[in-house]
Amino acid sequence: MQQHVWIAGMGAISSIGDNVQENLKSLKEGRSGVGYPEFLHTVHTNDFPVCEIKLSNDELAARCGMKNNLPRTTYLSAIAAMEAIADIESKLEAGQSSPFVSYRIGFISGNTLGGMDRSEFFYDEFLKDKSKGHLSDVVHHECGSITELVAEHLSIRHFITTISTACSSSANAIIHGCRLIKHNKLDIVIAGGADALCRFTLNGFNTLMILDSQPSKPFDENRKGLNLGEGAAYVVLISDKVKEQLNLQTQARVSGSANANDAFHQTASSAEGNGNYKAMKEALDQSGLAASAISYINAHGTGTANNDSSEGIAIERLFGETLPPVSSTKANTGHTLGACGALEAVYSCLALQHNLIYPNLRHETAMKELSFVPNTQLLEQMDVQHVMSNSFGFGGNCTSIIFSKS
């Protein structure tokens, strides 16, 4: 008998909301988090808008109950993961003990930044005076350290791992969690990811000349690049056994997923979108669904010339005349890098729950190479049964996940 994987809890924090419900409200209202940074100290403060969470590190630390002076990504990760855990625990019947005590639990988290923001603080002082700078600021530099800090805070010890595959990191974390559950290695997995803003990523994307000096316009003919954002999101994946034993209500089912790589370029997709197409096609094949069954595509849609063209071409190639509504919520949240796959997974599940299709903000002019335009209005009371969420990363690492109604 086929094993299913269900989503029984969700948590999220982004520039448009400090929790899942605030994110949903902002999406429905068409709110964007784009603005100039207050907490990111950069020479580009007035050059490039970003989607920053307007809470200081001290405020974030207090919110999740962790000590000060840890990497910002740690706090974002902990806040979203704790909300996801609280969400599933709120569904338990009176007298039921927490499932995080009696089942095999995994924590799989993606990020690309690690503690790089703290390392930047260290080098500010060290480069001025070799006797200055706190080594404690570089201890958590690498990506895995963030996952371990949060897992320790959550008291998770059965299985802990980090995935860092650029912008598909947290989507791949969800896929890995699903596989472990299907192969009976774990019963429950908290899967997702987090990334904060830092100077390295802002400067790096500026060097690639793919930042927009104005709010981004995904899938617009006159798009000029992306806006970087920060955030975190996690879903609680559970097995059939856990769902049945605890009689849990679930938000969605992961019905299909795939990861592919076109190995075309370090930072660009092939013009034909071969990796994008393969990931979407294999996710559909795994789900057993026809292309016509997909109700909505939450596109990767970064707003760069290369991404929107290659993704759009791949979508047209796969869906043809059965193309469903398409939009990118990165116009709301910015590109949250390692967090975007999980954040948009949460948005996909909310679309299923509330029968919504989100608008693609700021779209004005159709792209010449595409025959479709993204959805630009909030659509409510739609029959949303299956949502495809795309996350395409540097190095051609392409991931597509299909979420279906419970």
**Residues annotated catalytic, as ranges:** 167, 300, 335
CA R_g for the chain: 20
Tokens representing residue 127 in the block: 């480069």
What does each C-alpha distance from 65 to 58, 60, 221, 280, 284 come to in angstroms?
10, 8, 45, 39, 41
Residue with tokens 């930044």: 113
Residue with tokens 């190479």: 369
> 58 exposed, middle or buried (CB, 10 Å; 0-12, 13-18, 19+)?
exposed
